[in-house]
Amino acid sequence: MTGNPILAPIPAPVLALSDVVKDYVGEAGTFRALHGVSMTVAHGELMAIMGPSGSGKSTLMNIIGCLDSPTTGIYRFEGTDTASLSERALARMRNSGIGFIFQSFNLLPRLSALGNVALPLVYSGLGKAEREAKAQALLAKVGLADKQRSRPAQLSGGQQQRVAVARALANAPKLLLADEPTGALDTKTGAEVLGLFKSLNREQRVTVVIVTHDPEVARATDRVVRIQDGRVFYDGPPTEAALYGHAEVAA
């Protein structure tokens, strides 16, 4: 991107994978989890990565989340080749560039809701007062202003996941990366959490990538990438065929 003097510079996509291969070396030999995956996600997208278990979607998620690195191929986050980043820089990226949301919420049981939301801010070096003010605002945003002092065990599943969403938003990340975010919730609260994602995306232009095998979750998004056997099998709008795995033609 050398930049055109007349046009405003085109912003880099949030993430761009090109020909990403991931091999796992085990006792039984080398296992190739990803066979050259290429995809880009632009700012403000709301999309789902789908695929049956063993398809490689978890591996893909780990690479997108900077928890793992490709064996070959390039993964750019915000235009930066992640292979060039140090461990410390990757941690910083996970801290402020990406917000993780997990199926099982993964809140720290000893910390209050406020403490959990403030945790990423601890690692980005904010002072106590600033952390608490920010965490309070975030909890209010997900509708849990009155649950600041509650421990995760005192909250319902839906409330816990909303705390997790608040935590993921703490450092205003470029990307919200959710792994089966409704998997542990009943249909109604699952729909509420999805609604939260949607409003974050629509109102605050947060880029959301949801990794799921649930067609109903994927249906709520604007784009579906289907992974099968370590390859992109489909990339397009959430049509019935795409959601239920009948689409044969990769876009």
Partner 1 sequence: MIDAMLAEAWSALIANRLRSALTMLGMIIGVAAVILMLAIGGGVQKQVSSAISGLGSNLLIITAGSSKQGGFASGAGTGATLRLDDVDAIAHLKSVVAAAPTTQIPVQAVAGAANWATTVVGTTPAYFIVNDWRPDTGRAFSEMEDRAAGRVAILGHTAADKLFGANDPMGASVRVKGTSFTVIGIMATRGQGFGGVDRDDVIIVPLTTALRQLQGNAFRRSIRSISVGIDDADNLAPASERIAAVLRRVHHLEPGAPDDFTVNNLTAVTDTLSSTTAAISLLLAAIGSISLIVGGIGIMNIMLVSVTERTREIGIRMAIGASRAAVRLQFLLEALMLSLLGCGIGVGLGTGLATAASGAIGFDTSVTVSAVVTAFAVSASIGIFFGWYPATRAAKLSPIEALRS
Binding site for partner 1 (CB under 8 A): 62, 65, 67-68, 87-88, 91-92, 94-96, 100, 102, 106, 108, 110-111, 118-120, 122-125, 128, 131, 167-168, 171
Amino acid at the residue 20: V
Place of tokens 């091999």: 23
Q: Report the nearest approach of partner 1 to the CB of residue 49 (Å).
A: 17
Residue 117 or 220 with smaller CB distance to partner 1:
117
Residue 95 or 189 with smaller CB distance to partner 1:
95
Residue 87 or 203 with smaller CB distance to partner 1:
87
Q: Report the nearest approach of partner 1 to the CB of residue 244 (Å).
A: 28
Query: Can you read off the two tokens belonging to residue 20?
Result: 């990403």
Q: Report the nearest approach of partner 1 to the CB of residue 152 (Å).
A: 12
Q: Report the nearest approach of partner 1 to the CB of residue 165 (Å).
A: 13
C-alpha–C-alpha distance, residues 217 and 240, integer Å: 12
Q: Report the nearest approach of partner 1 to the CB of residue 129 (Å).
A: 11
Residue 100 or 233 with smaller CB distance to partner 1:
100
Residue 18 or 106 with smaller CB distance to partner 1:
106
Please check whether residue 226 is in contact with residue 235, taking contact to mean a CB–CB distance below 8 angstroms. Answer: yes
Q: What are the E-state strand segments in the chain? A: 15-26, 29-41, 46-50, 72-77, 80-81, 98-101, 175-179, 207-212, 223-228, 231-236
Amino acid at the residue 35: H
Nearest residue to 80 via CA among 23, 8, 1: 1
